[in-house]
Amino acid sequence: MMKYALLLISMLLLSGCATLSESECRSADWYAIGFEDGAQGRPVSYLSEHRKACADYQVTPAFEPYRQGHEQGVAQYCTADNGFALGRRGGRYQNVCPPAQAAVFVPAYQRGYQLYMVERQIQEAQRQQRQEEQAVANDRQRITEIESLLIHESGNSESRKQLLAEMRALEAGIHEHQQRIFHLAEELDALYAEMRALESAP
C-alpha cells in the first residue's frame, strides 16, 4: 500500500513540474505558446521543456510555428521597462533579445540589477546595524545589573574585582559596537545616495 502511495505522490509531483497538461499538448497552438514564452523572456530552447511534457502523450511540438510566435513575443518583451523590471527583482536575463533591442534592454536591465544589489546591501547593513544596537542594549543591561550588585551586595574583594573587570570589558565592547554602528550609518548614507542616483537615471 505504501509503495502505491509513494508512486502516486511521485506522479503528482512530476505532473506539477510539467509545462503543459495532456489536454494542452493535444490542442496546442504552438504559435501562441511560443509567443507567450517569448513575451515572458524565455529562450527558444524552452521548447524542449514542452517536448518533455508532451512526450508521454505522443505529441511532438511544431517547431516552426513555435519559433515564429516566440520571435513576436520576444519583440514585445525586449523593452527598457521590462529590462529594468527584470533587473530590479534580481531576475536572470536569458539573452533572448536581438541586437537592436538588446541595445535598449540590456542597459536598463543592468541598471535595475544594480539597484537590486544596492537594495540588498542596504538590507544587510540595516540588519547588522540592528544587531549592533541590540548588542549595546544587552551590554548596558548587564552593566546595570553589575552596578546593582556592587551597590547592594557586599561580596568579597575578589568577586567585586571580577564584576568591575566585567563592567570595564562591557564598556569597551559598547564603544566598539558604537563605532561599528557609526561606520554602518556612513555606509548606509552612501548606499542611499547610490540608490537615488540609480532611480533618477534616465
The pLDDT of residue 70? 96
- Of 8 and 166, which is predicted with more confidence? 166
pLDDT over 70 (residue 1): no
- Angstrom distance (rounded) from CA 34 to CA 64: 10
Render 110-145 in DSSP notation, one character per residue: HHHHHHHHHHHHHHHHHHHHHHHHHHHHHHHHHHHH
- Angstrom distance (rounded) from CA 185 to CA 190: 9
pLDDT over 60 (residue 8): no
Phi, psi dihedrals of residue 94, rounded to the nearest 5° = -95, 15
Ramachandran quadrant class, 90 (left: phi over 0; alpha: psi -120 to 50; beta: rest):
left
Q: Tell me the average pLDDT across 49-67.
A: 90
Are the C-beta atoms of 38 and 71 separated by less than 8 Å? yes
The pLDDT of residue 10? 39
For the chain, how many residues are written? Answer: 202
Query: Per-residue pLDDT tens for 13-47?
Result: 344 456 788 888 888 899 999 999 999 999 999 99
- Angstrom distance (rounded) from CA 192 to CA 194: 5
pLDDT over 60 (residue 11): no
What confidence tier does 93 reach under pLDDT thresholds 50, 70, 90? Answer: very high
What confidence tier does 90 reach under pLDDT thresholds 50, 70, 90? Answer: very high
- Of 2 and 165, which is predicted with more confidence? 165
The three three-digit cell numbers of residue 52, written as one number: 518533455
pLDDT over 80 (residue 2): no
- Angstrom distance (rounded) from CA 14 to CA 7: 11
The pLDDT of residue 85? 96
The three three-digit cell numbers of residue 104, written as one number: 535598449
Q: Tell me the average pLDDT across 100-125.
A: 97
Query: Per-residue pLDDT tens for 156-186?
Result: 788 888 999 999 999 999 999 999 999 999 9
How far from 90 is each of 108, 168, 179, 191, CA to CA, in Å?
A: 13, 46, 32, 17
Mean pLDDT of the chain: 89
Spell out the domain ranges in the chain: 19-77, 115-200
What confidence tier does 96 reach under pLDDT thresholds 50, 70, 90? Answer: very high
What confidence tier does 4 reach under pLDDT thresholds 50, 70, 90? Answer: very low
- Angstrom distance (rounded) from CA 8 to CA 13: 9
> What is the fold of 115-200?
Helix Hairpins (1.10.287)
- For the whole model, what pTM was predicted? 0.75
